[in-house]
Structure 1
Amino acid sequence: MADETAQTHIDNPEDIAFVLHRVLAHGDFLVRKLHTPSEMTASHMQLAEVLLDGPQSTVGLAQIFGFRSPTITGHVKAMLERGWVEKIPSTEDRRSAFISLTAAGEEAYQRELSRKLSALSRYLISIDAADRARIGEALELVDRELLERPIEF
């Protein structure tokens, strides 16, 4: 009789892609579920996270998120009204501007991130310590091999 606790190993790229897609979709759902009403929406959090790396054009933001420009413009407008971002005029094209995260925006982002991580930690504590350690190892590998590597198709 086979050991029912034996771990299965997935090494086929298509199978890994399927499981990764499922994990990411569930992770996104979990983060949104943990997102209790607060000053920053989940979409504003994602925009702030990208802007932490530096200013972006609205067109660039739309491409990063796969949104139409009017959707990004609406989010940027809401963040401008709260003082979380500012527009920096382009030196190359007077009609365009770059969106930059302000100190107030970074502070709001950090507060919300802290709340989110605290909620996620409370969720993860219910997982067996050995399984949690394996999850941590797997996530470190995903971070190193997938997230730090440029995406090329």
Structure 2
Amino acid sequence: MTYANDMPTAEKVVRTDAGLASELRTSVMRLRRRLAGERHPDNPLSMGQLALLGALYRNGDLTVGELAAHERVQPPSMTRTVNALAEGGWVARRPHESDGRQVVVTLTEAGRAVLMADRARRDEWLTRRLSALTAEERDVLRKATPILQRLAQSD
């Protein structure tokens, strides 16, 4: 029989939902920091700016309000980010077709290029790390990925 005191600390902690939440939070944040550190040194964009480019890449043209809701930031903050990206040529702005008060944001070729280069670099780093795992560990991650996506998108 195995007693709780005989288990490694991490195993003891994840036996409860609160423990799992704590361990998962820590692991995801550390992985995020590692991935953020893999940015190309010549990439001038912030993580928030890259996230905005990614949202446009996945969803197509969006209004500033839609981008703000998607990224869970206030519209004035999103307006500042969009303005900076537009000045750099990463996105373009145009008036909304039916509502002149709104601005639609479009990903430019320059924005797409910097996003894809950034993703390729990070994916390469993560692919190297994944190759060091066992087939069973990679299978667990394949199964966990949709769950993590659902958690990230839930309110």
TM-score, length-normalised on structure 2? 0.73
The count of aligned residue pairs is 148
Aligned pairs (5 A) from 1:63-82: 63-82=69-88
Q: Closer, same or farther in 2 for the Cα pair 1:97/1:117, shift >3 Å?
A: same
CA contact (8 A) 2:91 2:107 kept: yes
Q: How far is 1:96 from its partner?
A: 0.7
Paired letter, 2:145: D
Q: Which one of the candidate residues 126, 140, 143 is aligned to 2:142?
A: 140
Q: Which one of the candidate residues 125, 129, 133 is aligned to 2:133?
A: 129
Instruction: Tell me if 1:44 matches 2:49.
Output: yes
Aligned pairs (5 A) from 1:7-22: 8=11, 10=14, 12-22=16-26
Q: Distance in 2 between matches of 1:82 and 1:138?
A: 41
Q: How far is 1:66 from its partner?
A: 2.6
Q: How far is 1:110 from its partner?
A: 0.6
Secondary structure of the corresponding residue to residue 94 of structure 2: strand
Instruction: Tell me if 1:27 matches 2:34.
Output: no
Q: How far is 1:104 from its partner?
A: 2.3
Paired letter, 1:67: V
Q: Distance in 2 between matches of 1:25 and 1:90?
A: 37
Q: Closer, same or farther in 2 for the Cα pair 1:82/1:25, shift >3 Å?
A: same
Secondary structure of the corresponding residue to residue 99 of structure 2: coil
Secondary structure of the corresponding residue to residue 55 of structure 2: helix
CA contact (8 A) 2:67 2:78 kept: yes
Q: CA RMSD in A?
A: 3.2
CA contact (8 A) 2:53 2:115 kept: yes
* Identity across matched positions, percent: 21
Deviations 1:59-104 (A, max 9, x none): 2222222323232222212211222211232123101112121222
Consecutive unaligned residues of structure 1, counting only runs of 5 or more, are none
Greater helix share, structure number: 2
Paired letter, 1:31: L
Consecutive unaligned residues of structure 2, counting only runs of 5 or more, are none
TM-score, length-normalised on structure 1? 0.74
Deviating beyond 3 angstroms after TM superposition, the runs of 4 or more aligned structure 1 residues are: 1-5, 7-16, 119-122, 148-153
Q: Closer, same or farther in 2 for the Cα pair 1:129/1:147, shift >3 Å?
A: closer
Secondary structure of the corresponding residue to residue 129 of structure 1: coil
